[in-house]
Amino acid sequence: MIQLDFGFGALEAEFWRLLFVMTRIGAALVAAPLFGIPSVPPQLRVIGAGSVAVLVCAWTDVAVPPALFSLAGLLAVLGEVLVGLTLGFVLQLAFAAPVIAAEVMGGSMGMNMAVAVDPNSGTQSPALGQYFAVVLTMIFLALGAHLQWFALIVESYRVFPPGHTWLGSERFALVAGFALDMFATAATIALPVCLVLLVVQLVTGVLSRSAPSLNLFSLGLPAGILGGLAALIVSAPVLTDLVTRLSRDAIVHASAVLAP
């Protein structure tokens, strides 16, 4: 029994089942970058988790632990939270790659002084990071990757039924491996702009040595910003391809975590 009986019989049992299913879905929504941002009201996340939980209860035969408020029941709830947070954290890694690339490029261009509040984390990030985050969000939604991610959450109830939610060291290693891929993608995004900025800095350095009367700061900063913006425009198709691959890899790695 649930150890709490309000006298509603089967209706109460379905309510506890729905609430238990919402635990994993709610944890995934809180950890995900698009649904867990501070600007999304908690009420909306609860409504979204409840809507998906209704479908999961209708499509699967998820059962609530016999004693939900016992030690075994609390461990089952913690296991649900673990699976949900892992699925959301994989998306967080994907959305962190453009921000890291923007940090590198902004520092080389001298644009780290132009910061804005990142809606995903609530902290300050470079303006370029906001641009990359918007591009990634639009492509992620346009590809329907969010729908595939919700399908993986539903599939997780078949792979990891309640009470059998320990992911194991191999699956945690997969998540760490995706973090390495994320850093490699961030370096690939920043590489074209950094190469152009390196050439610009070399040219300004040669000019400052050949003509000491030129002010290096008044010449180098505008040249670096103009060169970086030109490199961003030229490398825009490459950025689109990399962001598309990043969105695909996020779903692939999330499905690899659920692989039997």
Residue given tokens 């050949």 in the structure block = 210
Query: Mean pLDDT across the chain, nearest whole number?
Result: 78
What is the model's pLDDT at position 10? 64
pLDDT of residue 123: 61
pLDDT of residue 254: 84
The predicted structure's pLDDT at residue 125: 64
pLDDT (tens digit per residue) in 85-125: 888 888 888 888 888 888 888 777 766 665 655 555 556 66
How far lies 232's CA from each of 52, 109, 229, 237, 247, in Å? 40, 11, 5, 10, 20
pLDDT surpasses 60 at 40: yes
Is 96 in contact with 77 (CB distance < 8 Å)? no
When mean pLDDT is compared across 72-81, 124-133, 170-179, 232-241, the lowest value belongs to: 124-133
**Ramachandran quadrant class, 144 (left: phi over 0; alpha: psi -120 to 50; beta: rest):** left
Give the pLDDT mean for 215-238: 75
Q: What is the pTM of this model?
A: 0.75
Provide the CA 13 distance to its chain's centre, in angstroms.
34
What was the pLDDT predicted at 260? 65
Regarding predicted confidence, which is higher, 33 or 71? 33
Q: Which of 48-57, 59-68, 127-136 has the highest mean pLDDT?
A: 48-57
- pLDDT for 21 beyond 70: yes
Residue 62 has a pLDDT of 78
Residue ranges covered by each domain of the chain: 10-257
Cβ–Cβ < 8 Å for 84, 146 = no
For the four alpha carbons of 246, 181, 115 and 241, in that order, the dihedral sign comes to negative
User: Measuring CA to CA, which residue among 118, 64, 79, 258 is closest to residue 175?
Assistant: 258
